[in-house]
Structure 1
Amino acid sequence: MARSVRRRDPGEQSKLQVKPVVWAAGALGACALALAAVAIPLDAVVFGMPVPLAFVLGAVQPAAIVLALFRPRLAAGISCAAVFALAIAVGDAAVWPVAVTTLIGHGLLVGVLGAQPTWPVGLWCWGGGVVAAFAAAALVPHNVSTGAVIANLFIFGSVTAGTFALALFVRQWRRISSQLVQERRLSADEHAKRVIAEEKTRVARELHDVIAHSMSLINVQATTAQYRHPGLDPAIGAEFDQMAAASRQALGEMRSVLGVLRSTQTDNELVPQPGLDRIPELIDSSRRAGVDITAHGTELLEERPGSEIAGIAAFRIVQEALSNVTRHAPGARTEVRFERSGDELTITVRNGAPERTANPVQGGGHGLVGMQERAAIVRGELRFGHLDDGGYEVRAVLPLHSNDSQEQDVS
């Protein structure tokens, strides 16, 4: 089973960005309809407003709540004006100058504005609503006691201020959460880039070792040609000398590159690199470590071993796949199968569901990236993914080019 990653195009990303706004508009629209359904009959029946005026004032302030998502300044001005107009239209009432529906509508608007990036408009809306209510109390004649008016104004100012403060808290919390998610995403991206760079460096070191070995053989053969073949034509001898000088120069340049690639912690990588002939030994080592492994086709590894680079890639892929079984699927039965078709070697490492829960393993995530890099370096393919029975499968197809075919590919 192959694991595939689907990238979203810019159009899909824009749709995902618009979707929260649509949900917010729908929710606020429902609240506005509910508020208007309560405010209009309340203004007309309880407060004695003319029905047309009750419809206008009862619908204007709820509509401003939805409008705040798109035109915050206009919505704030409409709501503040509605606070003053409703106080004038209501006249004398038990709850004056701010009715309950007016308090709820203006409070919702202040909360919506406070939760947006344009939160200063919400602060201005809160202050404008309080000023409008105080102006109505001071300018409009009424028969309500001063204590009741002061209590009403205090409740209006404190409730709307509390709503605004809560909206600011929610906005700040969402902002911090968004920054944390973004930082985690950036850290994950940097980690992935570092993992790829480290694995490419490791592959480059191994490639250097393989190429350096071949270049050393060329240098030795070219240098000793005139001693191994007495009576060699001087022109041919001079050509061999030129080949030896060119190979020595290439070796020197590769050693310079190797000095940059290698660090003091990679001295253990100077040993000869393993190939196809070491895979059975690797499987036996995993068996001794407690992994239940069944191997098929190991005898095919001895037939036409192919290039050394492909052998290293095959060994490392099997090694990492078995290591993943040990870490992530303890106790699972594992099958390793090798198949050959011409110059291609197919490696399949499949394990069943783990018998027990694996302990959390702190790893760098090099495994899958490394296997992909090694398959790509020999122009092979690698697939991996979960199976329907709860197991996991790694399948690699590696071309085992002979030296002649490699030279033709390079040329």
Structure 2
Amino acid sequence: MPPNRRLNPEALAWVAVIVLAIVMLAVESSIAVSVNEAPVALAFVVTIVHVGSMPLSMLRPLFGTLMSIGACTVLPLLGPHVSGVPWPWMVPMMITQIVIILIIGLRAHWGVALAALLGSIGGSAAAVLITHLLVADTRTDGAIVNILIYSCIAGGVYLAAVIVQQWQLIRSQLVQEKENTAEEHSKRVTIEEKARIARELHDIVAHSMSIINI
């Protein structure tokens, strides 16, 4: 496509993230209320914080990390007593957090993305521990399996995001090196051309002076 008709990748990324955040807000909040039997108001507020971490991670990855970790810790505490459903990581919540880790892994330092991964795992584990201490009949074994499944999937996404980011960094460095090499070559050619012209002028002047002396 002509340059004036090409779509901006940054704008496309923003549109995709915002649309996905709206979709996940509807799905995650409804699942939390209808399946996990969480209070409607609390579930909606915490879900807004969680899905809002996606666009926030595009601008402020560290703030997005902190908000998502807090939501991953609080949201499982709102409905831990329903049996037969994934807990503490219900599927929409898992998808949202994995997308957040992917965004941070692609746009920020790998350490921030690692903090989002480990923090979300630790937050969900803390929610399970709190529930186990406060409630006698809890699904601890199923919760551990659920956390392990999330950890494997999110860890794989994190590694993929870091690899892609490092590949892009190396590619940009190679492009910059090629540009620097081309610029240095152009400067060297210019200097050599100036030196050649100076030598020719020197030879002409020296020849002219020799003729004058003769």
- Scaled by the length of structure 1, the TM-score of the pair is 0.46
- Give the one of 98, 101, 108 matched to 1:107: 98
Deviations 1:296-333 (A, max 9, x none): xxxxxxxxxxxxxxxxxxxxxxxxxxxxxxxxxxxxxx
Contact 1:96/1:144 (<8 A) preserved: no
- Give the one of 27, 33, 36 matched to 1:47: 36
Deviations 1:64-87 (A, max 9, x none): 011112222222121111112111
Number of residue pairs aligned between Structure 1 and Structure 2: 202
Where does residue 89 of structure 2 map in the other structure? 98
Contact 1:32/1:63 (<8 A) preserved: yes
Deviations 1:17-72 (A, max 9, x none): xx765543333222212211321222232333333233212221111011112222
Q: Structure 1 residues 142 and 162, CA, compared in 2 at 3 Å: closer, same or farther?
A: farther
Where does residue 212 of structure 1 map in the other structure? 206
Contact 1:65/1:109 (<8 A) preserved: yes
Cα shift at 1:100: 0.7
Q: Answer 1 or 2: which has greater helix percent.
A: 2
Of structures 1 and 2, the one scoring higher in RCO (CA 8 A, sep 6+) is: 2
Deviations 1:132-156 (A, max 9, x none): 1111112213756443222101011
- Scaled by the length of structure 2, the TM-score of the pair is 0.85
Q: Does 1:154 align with 2:145?
A: no
Contact 2:128/2:140 (<8 A) preserved: no
1:115-134 → structure 2 map (5 Å cutoff): 115-134=106-125
Task: Give distance in 2, aligned partners of 1:208 and 1:149.
Answer: 87
Percent of residue pairs bearing the same amino acid type: 35
Q: Does 1:85 align with 2:79?
A: no
Q: Does 1:192 align with 2:213?
A: no
Task: Give distance in 1, aligned partners of 2:127 and 2:211.
Answer: 100
In the alignment, residue 89 of structure 2 is paired with which amino acid? V
Where does residue 53 of structure 2 map in the other structure? 64
In the alignment, residue 116 of structure 1 is paired with which amino acid? R
Q: Structure 1 residues 142 and 72, CA, compared in 2 at 3 Å: closer, same or farther?
A: farther
Aligned Cα root-mean-square deviation (Å):
2.0
Where does residue 135 of structure 1 map in the other structure? 126
1:389-408 → structure 2 map (5 Å cutoff): none
Contact 1:57/1:86 (<8 A) preserved: yes
Contact 2:61/2:108 (<8 A) preserved: no
Structure 1 unaligned spans of 5+ = 1-18, 221-411
1:165-314 → structure 2 map (5 Å cutoff): 165-220=159-214
